C-alpha cells in the first residue's frame, strides 16, 4: 500500500497537513502519529511494517500502535488516499 500521488503533504512546526490535488475535496490535518504513518506510506509498505517501525521508535504497547495504525489507515482509505 502507498499514499496516492494525488495527495501531497506539508509540515510546519507541529502541523502536518495532507492535501488532495484531485478527487477528494479538502485537506486533512494530522497529529504526530498520523504524520509518521503518512510518511511511511510515501513508499510501498504494509500495515505490519508501519507497526514495526513505530514500535521501534515509540515506547508504547504494540496493541496500541496497531490500533492507531488501523484507525489512521481507515481514515485515509475513506478519503481515497491509499493505493492498496
Q: What is the pLDDT along the chain (84 residues), one digit of tens a residue?
A: 999 999 999 988 888 999 888 877 777 888 889 999 999 999 999 999 999 999 999 999 999 999 999 999 999 999 899 999
Q: What is the CA radius of gyration of the chain?
A: 12
| HSE of 25, CA atoms in CB hemisphere, 13 A | 0
Q: Is residue 28 within 8 Å of 17, Cβ to Cβ? A: yes
Architecture of domain 2-79: Alpha-Beta Complex (3.90)
State how far the alpha carbon of 54 is from the alpha carbons of 47, 59, 63, in Å: 11, 9, 11
Domain boundaries, the chain: 2-79
Residue ranges of E strands in 1-84: 2-3, 7-12, 15-20, 27-30, 82-83
Amino acid at each position: 500500500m502507498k499514499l496516492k500521488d494525488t495527495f501531497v503533504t506539508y509540515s510546519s512546526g507541529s502541523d502536518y497537513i495532507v492535501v488532495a490535488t484531485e478527487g477528494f475535496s479538502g485537506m486533512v490535518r494530522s497529529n504526530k502519529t498520523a504524520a509518521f504513518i503518512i510518511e511511511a506510506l510515501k513508499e510501498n509498505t504494509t500495515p505490519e511494517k508501519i507497526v514495526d517501525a513505530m514500535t521501534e521508535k515509540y515506547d508504547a504497547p504494540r496493541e496500541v500502535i496497531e490500533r492507531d495504525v488501523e484507525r489512521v489507515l481507515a481514515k485515509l482509505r475513506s478519503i481515497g488516499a491509499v493505493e492498496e
